[in-house]
Amino acid sequence: MSRLLVFGLGYAAGVIAHRLRARGWAVAATGRNGTLRFDDSEAVRGALAASTHVLSSVPPSEEGDPVLAAYGSLIGGKCLSYLSSTGVYGDTGGAWVDETAPADRGRRRARNAADADWLALGARVFRLPGIYGPGRSPLDRVREGKAHRVGLADQVFGRVHVDDLAEGVIAGLDAPSGAYNLADDWPCPQDEVVAYAAALLGLSPPPIVSLADLSPMARGFYAENRRVANGKAKRVLGWGPRYADYRLGLRALSATTSPAPASSAPATDRVDQR
């Protein structure tokens, strides 16, 4: 039996674990939804010894990658996978970028370093753009009055539905080591996505806000502009996004979402960090 140990059973890793269990895998995990405590070294060491595969979705801190710091010496010989970010590519001025591009130009040096460290260990490093899915999508933010537009028609980025992300990671668990971009086929401005979500809910698009009114972290997000290519994952993993663009993904989500109340509050200036 294939046995997976997940470090950090959050939103995306939880979908991956659920699908693997349905396919007969044994899955143990740390994190808020897991049964192991990260700092219970004896239990984690036992789970590591029994595992055939290891997946980490734990983001690094400024001090480095906590999984590698605590257990890096014990994961040799396992099939390793790591959920990274397309943010490692930094700003490309809207140009397309693939896995051959430098991956040390992102705003978060710790993420760049962790990405490189997992690659050096022979991991499959899945670089992810903005993740959306049930309970975490522009539909939810519009309904909650937490979406906004910024009026930057030339600022683009990619995204991926959590179901497509999970299938891409599962397809790559035993693939050749290296980096894989898992993104949809249609990078575009965030304003376009938010406006479409509002239309699906029968609401007016949220107002445009000034970048000056956003937090420094949010302004940093909008300072990056790139289109992420997914051709390697398609070629090597035999993967393709079921939700090839945000319209398909949001329409599928809206089919299971009740209509927004007529009194929905106006949008605020919160932004998800990709």
- Burial degree of 121 (CB within 10 A; 0-12, 13-18, 19+): middle
Contact between residue 244 and residue 123 where contact means Cβ atoms under 8 Å apart: no
Predicted confidence at residue 260, as pLDDT, reads 43
pLDDT at 161 over 60: yes
- Of 69, 78, 19, whose CA–CA distance to 48 is shortest? 78
pLDDT at 33 over 90: no
257 band by pLDDT with thresholds 50, 70 and 90: low
pTM for this predicted structure? 0.92
Question: What's the whole-number average pLDDT of the chain?
Answer: 92
pLDDT at 218 over 70: yes
pLDDT (tens digit, 9 = 90+) per residue, 219-229? 887 889 999 99
pLDDT at 32 over 90: no
Question: Who wins on pLDDT, 235 or 220?
Answer: 235
Which amino acid is it at 201? L
User: Which sequence spans correspond to the domains of the chain?
Assistant: 78-256
pLDDT at 259 over 50: no
Contact between residue 138 and residue 151 where contact means Cβ atoms under 8 Å apart: no
**Residues across the chain:** 274
CB atoms within 10 A of CB 204: 12
Which amino acid is it at 130? G
The residue-averaged pLDDT of 128-138 equals 97
- Of 87, 83, 109, 101, whose CA–CA distance to 10 is shortest? 83
| Cα–Cα dist 134/256, whole Å | 9
Contact between residue 128 and residue 83 where contact means Cβ atoms under 8 Å apart: yes
Q: What phi, psi does 242 have (nearest 5°)?
A: -65, -40
CATH of region 78-256, choose from 3.40.1030.10, 3.20.20.80, 3.90.550.10, 3.40.50.720: 3.40.50.720
Question: What value, to the nearest 5°, has the Cα angle with vertex 157 and ends 95 and 149?
Answer: 125
| Cα–Cα dist 260/15, whole Å | 26
